[in-house]
Amino acid sequence: MPTTKTRSSLRSGKTKTANGGTAKPANGETSKSENGSEQESSQLEKLFIDSLKDIYWAEKQLTKTLPKMKKAATTDELKSAIEEHLAQTEGHVVRLERVFEMCGKKVQAKKCDAMEGLIKEGDSIVEETQQGSMTRDAGIIMAAQKVEHYEIATYGSLVQIAKTLGMNDAAEVLHQTLDEEKQADEKLTEVAEWHVNQEAEKEEVNN
């Protein structure tokens, strides 16, 4: 009977299209494949989950990189700013794990080529600047702000995609991290403008 088929479709969370195919859930939830494994319900959701894996890897790497940057820094102001953001970054890792859970997904990292490149660039700046110089601090700030701008772009996009998918709770959690990334960027600008750049300008090149 038609009524029985309709109820069966509702229980499965799927509807039939005009050509007899199965329509994907419209609420952004994951669906089950024939073998029972979870799969994304749309290409946008797949992009969202892949991007979560990407930024999760990036944040985990930063928890290892920031202590090195702090050690290489010259001024107490920059060391303090890096230490503060390290604590925030550790919190970002925890938040991302919460978002994975909200999405019903296993916590998983995927290598982020962009972050790997930014970290390598930061390492090169430290190697190419003189220890104890203000120029090194200016370079570290530049490298750190490149990282912040990448993260701001990533989290900003994730927030908007989460809202589109109807994942408002996940969007709220991600927005908290977005705000902290913006604050960290502003703090680095303050340190640079306060006296680092001015003092670095006075340093002569050693032949």
Please enumerate in sequence order all residues whose Cβ is within 8 A of that of 26, keeping only pairs 6 or more positions apart, or say none: none
**Which stretches within the chain are classed as H helix?**
2-12, 43-72, 76-102, 113-128, 134-164, 168-191, 197-201
* % of the chain surpassing 90 pLDDT: 77
Q: What is the mean pLDDT of residues 40-50?
A: 92
In this structure, what is the dihedral angle of CA atoms 184, 187, 192, 196, given to the nearest 10 degrees? -110
Cα Rg of the chain, angstroms: 23
**pLDDT at position 206:** 74
Give the closest residue to 105 by CA, choosing from 45, 173, 61, 24.
45
Domains and CATH numbers, the chain: 41-197 (1.20.1260.10)
**pLDDT at position 37:** 39
List the beta bridge partners of residue 38. 32
Is this structure's pTM higher than 0.85? no
More confident residue, 36 or 202: 202
* % of the chain surpassing 70 pLDDT: 80
Asked if 16 contacts 9 with a C-beta cutoff of 8 angstroms, the reply is yes
Q: Is residue 207 very low, low, confident or very high in pLDDT (cuts 50, 70, 90)?
A: low
More confident residue, 16 or 49: 49
Give the whole-angstrom CA distance, residue 67 versus residue 61: 11
Asked if 171 contacts 98 with a C-beta cutoff of 8 angstroms, the reply is no
Give the whole-angstrom CA distance, residue 23 versus residue 25: 7
Both ends of the chain: CA-CA distance in Å? Answer: 89
φ and ψ at residue 32, rounded to 5 degrees: -105, 140
Q: Which of 1-15, 25-39, 87-101, 150-164 shows the lowest per-residue confidence on average (mean pLDDT)?
A: 1-15
Give the whole-angstrom CA distance, residue 127 versus residue 142: 14
Q: Is residue 39 very low, low, confident or very high in pLDDT (cuts 50, 70, 90)?
A: low
Give the whole-angstrom CA distance, residue 96 versus residue 52: 7
Give the whole-angstrom CA distance, residue 121 versus residue 37: 40
Q: Is residue 41 very low, low, confident or very high in pLDDT (cuts 50, 70, 90)?
A: confident
Q: How far is CA 136 from the centre of its chain?
A: 26
pLDDT of 152 > 50? The answer is yes
